[in-house]
Amino acid sequence: MPDYAALHAPHAALLRAALLAASPRGARAALDLACGAGAKTGWLASCAAPGALLLGLDLDPAALRAAPLTERVAADAHALPLRPASLDLIWCVAALGLLAAPERAIAEARRALRPGGALVVATATERWVRPRRWPPALTAILAAAPPPPPADDLGADLREQLAAAGLHEVRLAAYLLDPPGLAPAAALLPLLDWEQLRPSAEACLDAADLAACAAIAAEEPEPEPLPVLLIATGTAKNER
């Protein structure tokens, strides 16, 4: 089996920042779905209320025994042994593509969410993308805002999977993983187009930077296969 911890290590800081940016705060009960040895489950505490239940679930009991958790469940992600509407937040990190029936796992996660609860799915994959070489000055406008959706409908398949399971307000962000070690804003920036960036750019950039952006926007970069991190967040409908 691959050493997933070693594979993820160069991207851990970016993955953590991206997950936290995509996750609502104040969860009273949160689940790391298909958590393995729980290397990332502890990050859930940053999204949870004081004293919240933090749960790790995986099919492999041996992996769970190594997890630094007080609450563990050895179970199948396709058939969660949880009451309906019992969780506020579910993470599925680098695991959806390993499941036999991803759509069924997403539907099970949706069933377990309380109204207003969120499912956050993170997956690293290689995709054909058109990286834009925007001026570094643009990274400043991304630091304090929610991540915009990527250009070229990148990750639309993941967004549609969550929507098909009945999740609402599905949001998607994409981060470039090459080179490793990019800050979140720098990893987001190449995968955005000018229409997404223009309103904020025109409010804060000088004429020279705007001219450079306009010149880049006028070009159509050739697609190339690059590793990207996709983060999708869907919300269970609040009936109230």
Phi, psi (degrees; rounded to nearest 5) at 92: -130, 100
E strand map for 19-80: 27-33, 48-58, 72-74
Q: Give the start-end residues of each E strand in 37-103.
A: 48-58, 72-74, 87-93
Task: Quickly name the fold that domain 4-131+149-181+223-235 has.
Answer: Rossmann fold (3.40.50)
- The answer to whether 208 and 93 have CB atoms below 8 angstroms apart is no
Q: With H, G, I as helix, E, B as strand and everything else as coil, classify residue 91.
A: strand
Structure tokens given for 129: 């993308």
**pLDDT tens sequence across 119-176:** 999 999 999 999 999 988 888 878 766 778 999 999 999 999 999 999 999 999 999 9
- In the chain, what are the domain boundaries? 4-131+149-181+223-235
pLDDT tens digit at each of 240 positions of the chain: 344 454 567 899 999 999 999 999 999 999 999 998 888 888 998 999 999 999 999 999 988 887 766 688 999 999 999 999 999 999 999 999 999 999 999 999 999 999 999 999 999 999 999 999 998 888 887 876 677 899 999 999 999 999 999 999 999 999 999 999 999 999 999 999 998 888 888 888 889 889 999 999 998 889 999 999 999 999 998 754
* Helical (H) or strand (E) element with 22: helix 12-22
Strand 168-176 with 224-235, pairing: antiparallel
State the pTM of this model. Answer: 0.92
CA atoms within 13 A on the CB side of 150: 28
